[in-house]
Amino acid sequence: MKSSVTSTARHSASERREGRAGGADDHARLRRRPQLSEEVAAHLRHLIMTADFRPGEYIRLDETAERLGVSVTPVREALLTLRGEGMVSLEPHRGYRVSDLDRIDVDDLFWLQGEIAVKLALRTAEVITSEDIADLEWCNQKFRSTVASGDTAAIIDAEFEFHRRHNVIAAGKKLAWFLFSAARYTPTQLYASDPEWGEVALDSHDRLIAAYRAGDRDGVIAQTRRQFDDGAERLMKHLDQTGIWDNPDS
């Protein structure tokens, strides 16, 4: 699952803005990527979904480009992508404005991912072999090592690889694509920086593998849903602490 959650520290406005800039590490990472506008879009999605960019706030082209160390063009392309996704709107003569985000949006995102993931997991249960189980165990052991290391980027990659391998077994390319598309809206960096989330994910992976080995259909469903329920709960908790929903009309 390329989705689950969260550091709960509260950030001041100045801290949030420093986080947007990302510093030299962000610059180097973005420059290495071949599809720069997609990387910028992913970066901005994360900031919107974690309330670093808040509803009603404007995302300035020049300012964002300077912070990320890129030209204005990929930022403009990224914002056009996010506009098509309903994450920002274009206000005449003012620029791109962050759209409202409410609890229903978050619930829906995780519900959709969970439904697709369960379908894929049940297909996996029908065809999984002992060799496949060994592969998943190896992937989870790699994930366990990255969680112990605290390397956020490695944690994200290792968890993604576990679920990529899992979905290959299911042989549901279209469903896997839909799941990947929906997972773009979950802030993986937030999850990967939370050691507690890592422990929950590892335990869920272990139990999922055990359910496959035992032919336990109910266990497969429960552990698949567990990861998305946990992700939603952690993101909700984080967003609550940012004060994003303090306005009773939100």
pLDDT tens profile 168-188: 999 888 999 999 899 999 999
Low-confidence residues in the chain, pLDDT < 70 = 1-34, 247-250
Q: Which residues of 174-198 are buried (b: 16+ CB within 10 A; e: fewer)?
A: ebbebbbebbbbbbbbbbbbbeebb
Residue 247 has a pLDDT of 61
Residue 88 has a pLDDT of 96
In a domain, 3, yes or no: no
In a domain, 178, yes or no: yes
Helical residues (DSSP H) of 85-214, grouped into ranges: 103-127, 130-149, 152-170, 173-183, 188-192, 195-214
Distance (Å, whole) CA 149 – CA 146: 5
Residue 200 has a pLDDT of 97
Residue 3 has a pLDDT of 40
Looking at 53, 72, 98, the residue that finishes a domain is: 98
Looking at 98, 113, 146, the residue that finishes a domain is: 98
pTM for the whole structure: 0.80
| Number of structural domains the chain divides into | 2
Looking at 98, 122, 139, the residue that finishes a domain is: 98
119 plus 194 within the same structural domain: yes
Number of H helices, E strands in the chain: 12, 3
237 plus 123 within the same structural domain: yes
User: What residue numbers bound the domain in which 76 lies?
Assistant: 35-98
* CATH number of the domain bearing residue 237: 1.20.120.530
94 plus 107 within the same structural domain: no
The distance in angstroms from the start CA to the end CA of the chain is 29
The secondary structure element, H or E, covering residue 90 is: strand 88-91
